[in-house]
């Protein structure tokens, strides 16, 4: 069955430090992969998506993610974190049906 | 507005009552999705509409849950005889032709007393 795992429930980084949030997926074929961010009381905002092609994808707010088929991973990265990046981050995968399968989410805390 | 609109933003009701949650998708978006987010958890898929038909309703947790959509417009998620475990944020998303990407509303926070 299709599944998404985010191994880190909570991550704390210092402002200005680099960030990597992990995501592993389980799917028979190459899935469509997404990262969403959710601020408290808000809906989800799409950061970036991978469908095919170049395995390094650029998103909004300076985020990028790399698809690695051999590791079934789609980790999210940012070179320098800002305090406004504190939020909850969700990795999701989808097939051809339109159904998104979400990971449990990673809460990012940014220290000043 | 230009985004997905959900109402009400918050709903508190007593156990056993029925509730209706509304979603207005982005204009022109043919696909509409409902998800549920329980406290501290990821999102669970509930149902998917393409136009006013629902090709995938596999995520509806019980027959107390139902949803309908009028054309390619508003959708209503109805929960009958609410239970405390129904407390969650219910999120709606829509997308244009094809199914990706999905644009989310801010959700309805449902609390069952």
Is pLDDT above 90 for B96? no
Domains and CATH numbers, chain A: 3-111 (2.60.40.10)
Question: How far away is chain B from the Cα of A13, in angstroms, using its nearest Cα?
Answer: 20
Between chain A and chain B, the number of residue pairs with CB atoms below 8 A apart is: 64
Q: Report the C-alpha gap between A32 and A87 in whole angstroms.
A: 23
pLDDT digits (tens, 9 = 90+) for B71-85: 779 999 999 999 999
Please give the full DSSP string across chain A, using - where no structure is assigned: --EEE---SEEEEETTS-EEE--EEE-SSPPEEEEEEE-TT--EEEEEEE-SS-SEEE-GGG-EEEEEGGGTEEEEEESS--GGG-EEEEEEEE-SSS-EEE---EEEEEE-
The tally of domains found in chain B comes to 1
The closest CB to that of B42, out of A41, A42, A104, belongs to: A104
Is pLDDT above 60 for B1? no
Backbone angles phi, psi at A69, to 5 degrees: -65, -40
Question: How far away is chain B from the Cα of A45, in angstroms, using its nearest Cα?
Answer: 7
Which pLDDT belongs to residue B99? Answer: 66
Which pLDDT belongs to residue B100? Answer: 73
Q: SS3 of B34, please?
A: strand
Q: In whole angstroms, how far apart are CA B73 and each of B35, B55, B57, B66, B91?
A: 17, 16, 18, 17, 16
pLDDT tens by residue, chain A, 112 residues: 789 999 999 999 999 999 999 999 997 677 899 999 998 878 889 999 998 888 999 999 999 999 999 999 999 999 999 999 999 999 999 877 778 899 999 999 999 9
Which pLDDT belongs to residue B97? Answer: 66
What is the span of the domain harbouring residue B103? 5-112
CATH number at residue B30: 2.60.40.10
In terms of CA atoms, which chain B residue is nearest residue A40? Answer: B106
Average pLDDT over residues B108-112: 96
A93 torsion bin: left (phi>0), alpha (psi -120 to 50), beta (else): beta
Which tokens hold the place of A16? 């200005």
């Amino acid at each position: 069955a299709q599944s998404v795992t985010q191994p880190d429930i909570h991550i704390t980084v210092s402002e200005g430090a680099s960030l990597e949030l992990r995501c592993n997926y389980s799917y028979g074929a190459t899935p469509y992969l997404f990262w969403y961010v959710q601020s408290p009381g808000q809906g989800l905002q799409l950061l970036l998506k991978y469908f095919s092609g170049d395995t390094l994808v650029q998103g909004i707010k300076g985020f990028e993610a790399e698809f690695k088929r051999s590791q079934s991973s789609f980790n999210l990265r940012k070179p320098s974190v800002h305090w406004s990046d504190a939020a909850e981050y969700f990795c999701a995968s989808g097939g051809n049906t339109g159904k998104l399968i979400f990971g449990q989410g990673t809460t990012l805390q940014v220290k000043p | 507005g230009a985004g997905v609109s959900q109402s009400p933003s918050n709903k508190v009701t007593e156990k056993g009552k029925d509730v209706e949650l509304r979603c207005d998708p982005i204009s022109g978006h043919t696909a509409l999705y409902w998800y549920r987010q329980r406290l501290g958890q990821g999102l669970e898929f509930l149902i998917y509409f393409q136009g006013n038909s629902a090709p995938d309703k596999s995520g509806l947790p019980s027959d107390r849950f139902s949803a309908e959509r009028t054309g390619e417009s508003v959708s209503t998620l109805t929960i009958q005889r609410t239970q405390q475990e129904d407390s969650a944020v219910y999120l709606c998303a829509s997308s244009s032709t094809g199914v990706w990407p999905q644009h989310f509303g801010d959700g309805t926070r449902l609390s069952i007393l």
